[in-house]
Amino acid sequence: MFTSVLMIEKPLTAVDVDFVTTLHGDDRVSFIVLMQPRGDQDRLLRAIDDVALGELPEAIREGDEPEGADAVAPAEKALDHSLQALRAKGSEAVGQIVEDHPLDKLKSVVEETGADEVIVLTAPHFVEEFFHRDWASRARHKVGVPVLKLFAHNE
């Protein structure tokens, strides 16, 4: 069985689930999902990304995004939704919320599980990607397995 560590920041959409569960054709895939609460990311960078994508109403609402402990419950709900969706497609899936140092956690999960790859599935983060400070760019130098960067879909 192929093992993928899937890093996400919001619940998987049906399109995302279809995409990641078919990446390896008919091979069975087991997913370890790491979910970072969205509020734990830099509010200014999120707003810049929203503006760059032409999503001005979203940029205005960034201040309403829960942060810290308030972000954990929505993240747990998003993680549960994502795990159920992956399992419904026939994949094995476990996951956890990552509150501190997501790349350190990613590295330890890859090492502990012997994962075959990492898939980073997030919205575009233009500023971070331009400076190669996004999760995928940084993970490529840290985890020792292939890292695939995919953009999440909106429903």
**Cα separation, 69 vs 73, whole angstroms:** 8
Instruction: Please give the residue that has the higher pLDDT: either 142 or 43.
Output: 142
Residue of 123, 125, 41, 121 lying closest to 85 (CA atoms): 121
3-state secondary structure of 43: helix
3-state secondary structure of 84: helix
* pLDDT confidence of residue 131: 47
* pLDDT confidence of residue 48: 54
Instruction: Please give the residue that has the higher pLDDT: either 135 or 142.
Output: 142
Please say if the pLDDT value at position 33 is more than 60.
yes
> For residue 99, what pLDDT band results from cuts at 50, 70 and 90?
confident
Mean pLDDT of the chain: 80
Q: How many CB atoms lie within 10 A of CB 85?
A: 20
Instruction: Give all strands (DSSP E) within the chain, no chain letters.
Output: 2-8, 29-35, 92-97, 117-122, 147-151
Please say if the pLDDT value at position 133 is more than 60.
no
* pLDDT confidence of residue 38: 62
> For residue 20, what pLDDT band results from cuts at 50, 70 and 90?
very high
Please say if the pLDDT value at position 121 is more than 60.
yes
Q: Per DSSP, what are the bridge partners of residue 8?
A: 35, 121
Question: 67-76, 95-104, 126-135: lowest mean pLDDT where?
Answer: 126-135
End-to-end CA distance of the chain: 30
Instruction: Please give the residue that has the higher pLDDT: either 137 or 146.
Output: 146
**Cα separation, 43 vs 95, whole angstroms:** 25
> For residue 14, what pLDDT band results from cuts at 50, 70 and 90?
very high
Encoded tokens for 129 = 């990607």
Instruction: Please name the helix (run of DSSP H) or strand (run of DSSP E) that holds residue 64, with its range, or none.
Output: none
Helices and strands, number each (H, E), in the chain = 7, 5
